[in-house]
Amino acid sequence: MAIDYHNLRNWKFEDRVDRYTARDCMIYALGLGYGGDPADDDEFRYVHEEGTAVVPTFLATLGAPNGWAADPATGIDWVKILHGEHRMTFHAPLAAAGAVRSQTRVTRVVDKGAGKGALVVTVRDISDAGSGRPLATVEHVSFCRADGGFGQGDEPPQALPPVPDREPDCAVLLPTLAQQALLYRLNGDLNPVHALPHMARAAGFDRPILHGLCTYGMAARALLRACAPAGTQRLAGISARFSAPVFPGETLRAEIWRDGAHLQFRVLAHERNTVVLSNGVAGLAQ
């Protein structure tokens, strides 16, 4: 079944309300490697119940309409879908416990041409469930490798810029644990390619791979460490393109270019010197 542009463009999602606790925030932070140095007070506050700080990308784990693209009515060959880009804008700091409302809509369906695939962009507006205060906007860009050529579509989203053609202003090395994907999946993404060796091999990998959103969250961790220590500033947004998988146990190297509150970055698997997150853009707010 091919993509029907109008059907997909007007896809209806149910609103979701998700409740979370400080324990959920701490599990997310542990899944990003926080707490590896118990003497690091700045990072320890993300993994302790007293005055728990929240990594803003925690909101990537709440409210996503998981599995919707597998509905045959979408016309998407969901087995061949890839998470192409992830863009988050943060409107307010997140409390360590509460409830959030998520409202999702399809904003773009882009036909790249027969044999070239399609892009499907969803936007998720996240607000405080009680007050309605906006908390974040999440833009999820899916690359549907097998679904181009349906003949009608929207313009693609504005391209994320490449990093500057000069040496980065700083770099942050972050080790990953051999069991990091098993930790990160406790946030709710139970895709077996991240846990079961035979499923990873069926997907073309010799062993389970790390969740892309874990790498994304670790990029946020690196940006906070390098550019906003001790909570002096917060992330206003972070966007990046997924370029290559990470294998648990590898070291990540986040290279950062800074121009005031405007940040650009990329993340590499350090031992392989392979870019795994590219075209990274982020901003800082007071």
Catalytically annotated residue among 86, 140, 194, 211: 194
Catalytically annotated residue among 189, 198, 206, 211: 189
- To the query of whether residue 198 is one of the catalytic residues in this protein, the response is no
Give the 3-state secondary structure of residue 178.
coil
Cα–Cα dist 119/103, whole Å: 20
How many other β-carbons are positioned within 10 Å of the β-carbon of residue 252?
24
- To the query of whether residue 194 is one of the catalytic residues in this protein, the response is yes
Paired tokens of 7: 């059907």
Paired tokens of 157: 């989203």
Contact 146, 178 (CB under 8 A): no
**Distance from the Cα of residue 109 to its chain's centroid:** 20
Cα–Cα dist 115/103, whole Å: 32
Q: What are phi and psi of 107, to 5 degrees?
A: -110, -20
Q: Alpha carbon of 201 to those of 212, 244, 274: distances in Å?
A: 17, 16, 21
> For the CA atoms of 222, 35, 96, 125, what is the dihedral angle to 10 degrees?
40
Residue 207: name the closest of 223, 226, 217, 194 by CA: 194
How many other β-carbons are positioned within 10 Å of the β-carbon of residue 259?
9
Please, which residues bridge with residue 103 across strands? Answer: 125
Residue 45: name the closest of 15, 25, 62 by CA: 25
Paired tokens of 137: 């906007």
Residue 125: name the closest of 41, 181, 198, 62 by CA: 62
Give me the active site residues, please: 189, 194
